[in-house]
Each structure stands twice: as C-alpha cells, then as structure tokens.
Amino acid sequence: MAKLDGKVAVVTGASKGIGAAIAKALAKDGASVVVNYASSKTGADAVVEAITAAGGKAVAVQGDVSKAEQAHGLIEAAVKQFGRLDVLVNNSGVYEFSPIEEVTEEHYRRLFDVNVLGVLLATQAAAKHLGEGGSIVNISSVVTDVYPATSAVYSGTKGALNAISGVLANELAPRKIRVNVVSPGFVVTEGTHTAGIAGSEMEAGFVAQTPLGRAGRPDDIAGVVAFLASDDARWVTGEEINASGGVR
C-alpha cells in the first residue's frame, strides 16, 4: 500500500514548477490531489492529465488564495470532490526581487498578499476539515538564511511564513494536525527561466555556493514534502527542512 493511500491533498499553485512536482509526487504515493491554479488552467490541466495517465486521481480547481472567498472555495471544492481533506501544501507564491530604491506599495502588497495572506486564508479554510493526522506543509525559501541583495520584500514574506508556521504548529497540535516548512534553495523551474535566472551567471553563482554542486530540481523538493505529508512524519511538527543542497 502506498503511504498516502486514502488521503486527499490540496496543493496551491500547482500548475507548474515545484507545485506541479509536489502534486505528482503526492499522487504517486496514493493521494487524491486537488491541483490549484490562479490563472494557468492549461498548466493545471496538464498536471492532472499526467497524474491520471499514471493511474492517479486529480482534479484542477481555480482559485486565488489571496482572496478569502476563493481560498475557502478551493477547500470546499476539494471536500466536495473527494469527501475529506488530509493534506494542505501552501505552495502558491510570487517570486520577485527589487532593489530598495524600486520597492513600491504595489510590489509589497502583491508579494505579501499571495505569500503570506494566501497561506493564512487557505489554512483557515482547511483547518475546519483537517482531522487527527492532518498535515500542513508550507513552502518557504532559504532566502531567510542567506539574505540575498534586492530580496527585502520577498525575504520578508518568507520570514513571516516561517514565524506563522511555528505559531500554527503549536496552535493546531492539540488537534493532532502537524505544520512544517520546506525551504528550497535555487531550483530550476519555468519561473526561474522566465525571470532570466536559470542558465545565467546568477544561477552559476547560486551553484557555486551550493555544497552539493548543482541547482535543485522540482522533484528534489517534492520528495521532502511527500514525506512530511505522510504518516512517516507523524512525530514531526514545527520543523523547517532546508531542501537546498546544503545552502544555509
């Protein structure tokens, strides 16, 4: 029996990159997966198709988690479709760097609305349905350890996420719901290609600082999340795991 058989998982921001890899990994381990997307229906449908083609169960559900009504609608759709909820992976995030001279209110609010408020709203909705053994995994970043230049707002969102995760681990522990954080290092995704980082001198710089000597892949992160989602991690809560090739 696969370690997530019978469980239902929601993965936010799962139409591409790390989120897509997480959705596929959870499905491979037996979970029924809700593949959330904000705007890329084509990407989410492709993830669902890949999961079902491999014999798994998945549906795509649109929803902007930074909007309360849509975040709650996403969770309700999952419960309606599969009858329960066991795992929430808060992966949705906006990845933008900006030097301090160029930080704007719009930039700040966009990042904090998705990266922080979105986690709070999705977790608020999910907590009503998660029972004993439930698992919440929040995707952060090693930027909270290495403080790259021009990342003040982005790093601030991830620092807030780490603090929120610690609070929620304590708050939800009496209900036997676990909350953990996975912090990736540099990972080659569609997003880092679009940003012009993948294949650039910046990527080479990241790799040079990585003890294991290469850039990360989405499946490097997905395997850690699948562990935390499963009962193999039943005694693990309130932890941050750096999936970064040794960067810290």
What tokens does 144 get? Answer: 């909270």
What's the gap between Cα 161 and its chain centre?
11
- Please name every residue paired with 57 in a beta bridge, in sequence order, or none if there are none: 32
67 near 42, Cβ under 8 Å? no
- Residues in the chain, total: 248
Distance between CA 51 and CA 11 in Å, rounded?
A: 13
Distance between CA 10 and CA 85 in Å, rounded?
A: 8
What's the gap between Cα 219 and its chain centre?
13
Indicate the domain borders of the chain: 8-240
Catalytic residues: 154
* pLDDT tens across the length of the chain (248 residues): 799 999 999 999 999 999 999 999 999 999 999 999 999 999 999 999 999 999 999 999 999 999 999 999 999 999 999 999 999 999 999 988 999 999 999 999 999 999 999 999 999 999 999 999 999 999 999 999 999 899 999 999 999 999 999 999 999 999 999 999 999 999 998 877 777 777 878 788 889 999 999 999 999 999 999 999 999 999 999 999 999 999 98
Looking at the whole model, is its pTM more than 0.85? yes
What tokens does 112 get? Answer: 């904090």
Distance between CA 117 and CA 98 in Å, rounded?
A: 20
Of 59, 18, 13, 29, residue with least CA distance to 188 = 18
* Architecture (CATH level 2) of domain 8-240: 3-Layer(aba) Sandwich (3.40)
